[in-house]
Amino acid sequence: MATPHNNARMGDIAKTVLMPGDPLRVEYIAKNYMEDAVCFNKVRGMLGYTGTYKGRKISVMGSGMGMPSMGIYSYELYKMYDVDNIIRVGSAGAFKDDINLKDIVIAQAACTDSNYMSQFKLPGTFAPVGDYNLISTAAGKAEELGLNVRVGNILSTDSFYTYDPLDNDAWKRMGVLCVDMEAAALYANAAALSKKALCMLTISDHLYKSEKLDAGERQEGFNDMIKLALEVAWTQK
């Protein structure tokens, strides 16, 4: 059942997969939050583990950076390995002034400047949205855990470095909360394949306050989001 990017066998991967961008964060989640975690993939260094959380089988696998990479890994999980739910647990840069470092944003929808959507040949502009059940479950679990989360629109961009800072001003004016590089591709693949997706992001830097987390904090400082994602994953059958 191997693909060019994943040497797992059918049955090695759970129906629900947590998907950080960084494969080292995959390893961190598997070793610190899951029981009996077994590595099912090392191809290209994109680690994947399956274990249990509160007795339920759950997997975690990296997506890499950017929509092309997310597009590949999420497509293969949905299409080749019959995964039902993918929950992205990533980082983002904040636009809004009232969002701070380590705040959690649940992406209701994902704007994009990417050409990724062109492959679907739609006669208009597609609005990639998350699964309502997963979003509402995440919001409810966040309230139970006492976490302050924001739910709203985000931007998925192809450019980590932008040559025109006024681009950010335009998205901010439209009420977009923050920016990542993967969510829109995940939401589009889920829609195209009749699957479910959720994107949750921890704010790692702020584009208007010159604040940012270092590499170590990015890798291991997202514990509240990880716990929230696992609680959501646990509710899925």
Q: Summarize the annotated binding site as residue ranges.
A: 5, 21, 25, 44, 88-91, 180-182, 204-205
Decide if 156 contacts 176 (C-beta within 8 A).
no
Distance in angstroms (rounded) separating the CA atoms of residues 110 and 92: 12
Distance in angstroms (rounded) separating the CA atoms of residues 63 and 67: 9
**Which residues contribute to the annotated binding site for a purine D-ribonucleoside?**
5, 180-182, 204-205
Residue holding tokens 């260094």? 45
The single residue of 98, 131, 205, 224 carrying the catalytic annotation is: 205
Decide if 213 contacts 221 (C-beta within 8 A).
yes
> Smallest Cα–Cα separation from 188: which of 201, 177, 199?
199
Annotation says 205 is catalytic: yes
Decide if 232 contacts 134 (C-beta within 8 A).
yes
Distance in angstroms (rounded) separating the CA atoms of residues 92 and 104: 9
Residues 41/2/201/153 CA torsion (nearest 10 deg)? 180
**Which residues contribute to the annotated binding site for phosphate?**
21, 25, 44, 88-91
Residues known to be catalytic: 205
